[in-house]
Amino acid sequence: MSLTDLLSPSDIAAALRDCQAPDSFSPKKFFQISGMSKKSSSQLKEIFRILDNDQSGFIEEDELKYFLQRFEGGARVLTTSETKTFLAAADHDGDGKIGAEGITCFKYR
């Protein structure tokens, strides 16, 4: 399964266009524009599984900076401040990594 099986390619493209400039990425806005905020919890968990590059069950800071590139290979890398802000917003237990429940939190924001 790929992200385009769950999200519209045009919505993904629009979300990536919205955050092309460094330090313009907002997880909440990206989730809204890409259509992720409209997905069920089970669909978001499947998206998380696809985004979890090393399949560890978590998205660590190293993986998170390449978040946009998981949607499109040529997308930019998140800046250090964007990565840290995203991590802080979704890391509920402060362990420095995001579990599937961390990603689903953006559905309700």
38 labelled as ligand-binding?
A: no
- The answer regarding whether domain 3-106 maps to CATH 1.10.238.10 reads yes
Map out the domains of the chain as residue ranges: 3-106
91 is in an annotated binding site: yes
Q: State how far Cα 7 lies from the chain centre.
A: 12
Average pLDDT over every residue of 9-33: 96
Per the model's pLDDT, the better-predicted residue between 108 and 5 turns out to be 5
Cβ partners under 8 Å of residue 23, min gap 6: 79, 81, 82
Q: What rounded mean pLDDT belongs to the chain?
A: 91
Question: Cα–chain-centroid distance for residue 63?
Answer: 10
Q: What are the tens digits of pLDDT across the range 43-81?
A: 989 999 999 999 999 999 999 999 999 999 999 999 999
Please tell me the pTM assigned to this model: 0.88
Residue 58 assigned to a binding site: yes
| pLDDT for position 109 | 46
Asked whether residue 28 is marked as a ligand-binding residue, the answer is no
Give kind and range of the element (H or E) at residue 97. strand 97-98
- Is residue 3 pLDDT above 70, yes or no? yes
Q: Is 52 annotated as a binding residue?
A: yes
